[in-house]
Structure 1
């Protein structure tokens, strides 16, 4: 059941903050109730909804004008603020209804030309529908329950059974001018209704107050959920979209996901004339998903379509299905299934493109969602956000399909309408604006990720678009560091000196994102003491962390790189101690010297597989041993200030963690560089490599 989250005190606080102007107060309540709707993913999913309010405002000349504030492109309801509801002059919008036809491009142009703020985002593609309905507040949602209802073969009869004459039904039409006119006609034939059901699409409610319209969203949705529960052994929606990513079958994930990722990357690369163009994955699991993936009609449902037409932009209309038999058959079978999916998609495209006059350009033909028996739902996208969105939508679709099939059948829009939506010029224009970042689709793991250099490096790769995993032994520090990067950063807690820890850490990264492209092996600690006096146990422990953990991580990463089949990169934090030993740091310099050699040896061994291996020699970075107290002590011993000590190099400038991070990123971008170590120390002739 959906919870009614309206709170009078919160609403009153919004009104107080808005000031005394009635239009601003109305807009404040519009923002408030929109965010209440957006807080429940079962009501709206990734932009799958919009809201509006009609007000009056004075223009620069003091003339009163009617204004429609409607959700703008690029904003989500759960984080909506007033700028996300651009104001559009209402009267010119209403005049558009007199037109017999209106192209999408002209519609968008007319809407933009009537914005109060020329710099505001594009109003929703359903702006005219909001305009043509007379109500002050209007809410449009894609609730899971309503999608199950709207895609039933006898949806109109079911709607009448549940609501009587409280809701009117609008036949399926693509969003835009024609749908807006039809919805207005349906309403005007039934002006007492509380809302509309758009078949195959979603749900509209309206009211004279924000609360009235919002209350109807919740009440109507709960009525549908109750009706559906009676037809599905009391199945409820409380478990949907929890983002459960705990993979039960770790062996399947580690074996299948990198192979699948490599196959998809090659399909995507071929589309762009490249050897490969990697993707990120997002796995969802759970009892409901397991039960769904054990259905005997899975292959039929996989090509049935989408729960809501706009979902096709993120998930395509078909899913890749991998059964236990496919997995048991081996890597070649998985690649064959991906190739077959891409070929079938191209055939569909050619057929549909001919229907519409041959004007469309083929999109990337790879699957965006995989249903993997024994594992779960896998979202596939150009970056972590796209993969997560595909998984979110697929989770909701599983619920819609399950409920719909139990209540009479899941029968969404057909192939023609689905193609028209996927290749809709307005949606393609949105996608074209979202330029790929340099490391979009790539997955980076950073050991010692909670330290100064590790975190700076992780943030640098994240800014470049990579999905990032931080690996560190300190749980609190690791989780805090990951949170500072954002929701798509994975925290992996591991003591890399423990047996099997490196394999487990890389396995965690694979289960979360599908594979790995760049390993930044950065973990280390500067052990002090003269070699002849140092306890052997301490020296051996230094080698475990400063050399053997790097070797273990390299072995684990190489295993994933080979399964993916598109190369990979290893980057090691070596240290100037490897070539310029310091007194009392032999226990640190010796394993670092071995790591220096490791870089070149691995480059020699792995180059033929397209795996590049490089390193960074850094010096005097405020991290680990080099604390403020230690810096102060060393500076006093040399009779200089702390600043002068840190700037004790040829450039007379302190080297900071972000400079080391930039070097790692630069090496990762240098596609024809391997067996190379960059020095980042501001200039230290004694540590120069040549």
Structure 2
């Protein structure tokens, strides 16, 4: 590794946080340097501290420990993420023989300088008991590759000798803090501590010294891993033509979904994040992947996010998707049974006081294809995939110089079900569409964009499809998060297939398809050219059919039902003059909705429609409003408000109707009218 310290940047941080003092400013700076390197920490892992002086709320200057707050991410930390705790009361705790986790948390919170600050790290006492001013802690993949061996401590002693102290594995908390302090006291000249099967600490009198000691110590581990390496992992037997990611992802996603016991017809689904780098493929294709791939996590800190081990499934062939689906479902069921046994046995060991988490894997390894991270959101899925890639680096290095051996399952259970670790995940109530993937066509237009925003706000991951690629990508950026903008021409079957394949790769599948793309052609039906009618049918009928077929194909692979939503228009039941070229295919689409409801209801796939009228959009342009109002002999305002409520209907109103239909789990073949009230367009 190379030091990323730059004097100019360090001084810029000091200037930026001048009101907080040099110590805290440089603590933020080097914490970010550590946190931005995935070889050191990922997603809230690791912690840092500085011992300094601050003024408390009474105006008194006190010695404090500023330590990373629980759950904060080191790569983007701000001063608020380093809560200050009075140091003297923390040091006093070292004289105790025992201290429960609950007492530790209360005592730390009771001594916060700012009562509203976040909880200090669970390893705050370890930072306090080490007398150095700056203390850094990471989960270096290189160091873990050395410690995660049957003779890990001996291997580390070979590398570091007396430069560091060695602390046998203990769960974080008071016991580990005391043990680490005792190791340090035995030789105060050490530059850091190796926490066996956990990570590494470094310390120093200033921020740069502590940081660069970490870099140097990790570099020594990397150099050792480069020596006397065994040959690369040998490949196992793989199909001549591995299945495509877009075909595999929905099968994996469906197999890992669970019926919601609280709501009939609902599913708990996961979003997927795919990885297929050379390192990943070398790992998942290894002949012994079932051994080293399912041995366990590389550090217990990862356990709460990716469980105690990933799932490995058999390699799928391109022509055997049906067989692969059965094998994956069997593998997931077996994984769940093993997890329940793991929970039951260990819960009995601790007194039967824990409540089991869901038994689904968070990482799935598929030989010949790659790996999938699973989460209730795309963000969580990316976290799982990131941690899995870090584990691959660690396990690959461990296997190259020895044999990967993680902690026993009992230790992993204690961390996974540790209340202080679970608190990192938060207890926020999930949004109604959490875990679901929604695809919206015509998403660069007013109704499509409003619908995408509404679904994203309800917790869904959204893919925005439109023939205007630049516009739809801009709309996706405006929504933010993991929203995807994808070019799709619904009049082109290949374009539709490709767009849905991209969605399957990006998110793992599709649960809701809002078929919204359309355009309005006008003309007297007895005079209109046949080419105009055919053009309108290609977009306003066959476009809906192509989208629905593509969505159903993925929904069937998942086996968890789904929802098809169609923008039909009131023209389907209440035609306007000279609007036949638009109304005819829309009437056919209304029948199409009911046919999908009839033919696929037994698969849990619902089909509903919204009949909207007079929505300002790319379809109903200002020019068309002028034309239609003139044809009816009314003003433009009267035309737009010509309904029973006397109100103009907006794209957002249509979006809310689509959202309501998506959430109505026992409603199918429904047509919801959104037009402000038009009796002639009302269905029976």
**TM-score normalised by length of structure 1:** 0.91
Structure 1 gap segments, 5+ residues each: 236-247
**2:14 alignment partner in structure 1:** 15
Distance apart, 1:227 and its partner CA: 2.2
**1:72 alignment partner in structure 2:** 69
**1:171 alignment partner in structure 2:** 168
Q: Distance in 1 between matches of 2:333 and 2:166?
A: 41
2:93 aligned with 1:96:
yes
**1:539 alignment partner in structure 2:** 533
Instruction: Say which is worse superposed, 382-391 or 304-313, in terms of deviation.
Output: 382-391
**1:230 alignment partner in structure 2:** 227
CA 1:99 to 1:635, structure 2 compared with 1: closer, same or farther past 3 Å?
farther
- 2:493–2:546 CA contact under 8 A, matched in 1: no
- 2:164–2:192 CA contact under 8 A, matched in 1: yes
Q: Distance in 2 between matches of 1:219 and 1:532?
A: 83
**1:292 alignment partner in structure 2:** 283
Q: Distance in 1 between matches of 2:45 and 2:262?
A: 29
- 2:147–2:155 CA contact under 8 A, matched in 1: no
CA 1:683 to 1:305, structure 2 compared with 1: closer, same or farther past 3 Å?
same
Structure 1 SS opposite 2:611: strand
Q: Pick one of 104, 109, 133 that aligns with 1:107.
A: 104
Structure 2 SS opposite 1:230: coil
Distance apart, 1:402 and its partner CA: 0.6
Q: How many residues align?
A: 674
Q: Pick one of 211, 223, 240 that aligns with 2:208.
A: 211
- 1:315–1:390 CA contact under 8 A, matched in 2: yes
Q: Distance in 2 between matches of 1:114 and 1:619?
A: 62
Q: Distance in 2 between matches of 1:141 and 1:185?
A: 20
Instruction: Say which is worse superposed, 442-451 or 627-636, in terms of deviation.
Output: 627-636
Q: Distance in 1 between matches of 2:264 and 2:644?
A: 45
Distance apart, 1:179 and its partner CA: 0.9
CA 1:527 to 1:249, structure 2 compared with 1: closer, same or farther past 3 Å?
farther
Instruction: Say which is worse superposed, 174-183 or 345-354, in terms of deviation.
Output: 345-354
Q: Distance in 2 between matches of 1:34 and 1:573?
A: 51
Q: Distance in 2 between matches of 1:360 and 1:123?
A: 24
- 1:67–1:89 CA contact under 8 A, matched in 2: yes
CA 1:87 to 1:107, structure 2 compared with 1: closer, same or farther past 3 Å?
same
1:290-335 CA-partner distances (Å, limit 9, x unpaired): 2112222211123311111011111112222112379674432221
Structure 2 SS opposite 1:123: coil
CA 1:522 to 1:160, structure 2 compared with 1: closer, same or farther past 3 Å?
same
Structure 1 SS opposite 2:268: coil
Structure 2 SS opposite 1:436: coil
CA 1:32 to 1:262, structure 2 compared with 1: closer, same or farther past 3 Å?
same
Distance apart, 1:274 and its partner CA: 7.4
Q: Pick one of 112, 128, 133 that aligns with 1:131.
A: 128
Q: Distance in 1 between matches of 2:402 and 2:512?
A: 48
Q: Pick one of 521, 525, 541 that aligns with 1:527.
A: 521
Structure 2 SS opposite 1:433: coil
CA 1:538 to 1:640, structure 2 compared with 1: closer, same or farther past 3 Å?
closer
Where in structure 2 are the equivalents of 1:176-325 lying within 5 Å? Answer: 176-232=173-229, 251-266=243-258, 269=260, 276-324=267-315
**1:238 alignment partner in structure 2:** none
Distance apart, 1:634 and its partner CA: 7.0
Q: Pick one of 486, 492, 497 that aligns with 1:492.
A: 486
Q: Distance in 2 between matches of 1:179 and 1:196?
A: 12
Q: Distance in 1 between matches of 2:490 and 2:554?
A: 18
Where in structure 2 are the equivalents of 1:670-685 lying within 5 Å? Answer: 670-685=664-679
Structure 1 SS opposite 2:491: coil
Q: Distance in 2 between matches of 1:654 and 1:165?
A: 78
Structure 2 gap segments, 5+ residues each: 233-239
Instruction: Say which is worse superposed, 395-404 or 522-531, in terms of deviation.
Output: 522-531
Structure 1 SS opposite 2:4: coil
Instruction: Say which is worse superposed, 627-636 or 570-579, in terms of deviation.
Output: 627-636
Structure 2 SS opposite 1:409: coil
1:21-64 CA-partner distances (Å, limit 9, x unpaired): 4x433222222222222222222111111222222122233321
Q: Distance in 2 between matches of 1:218 and 1:356?
A: 39
- 1:53–1:136 CA contact under 8 A, matched in 2: yes
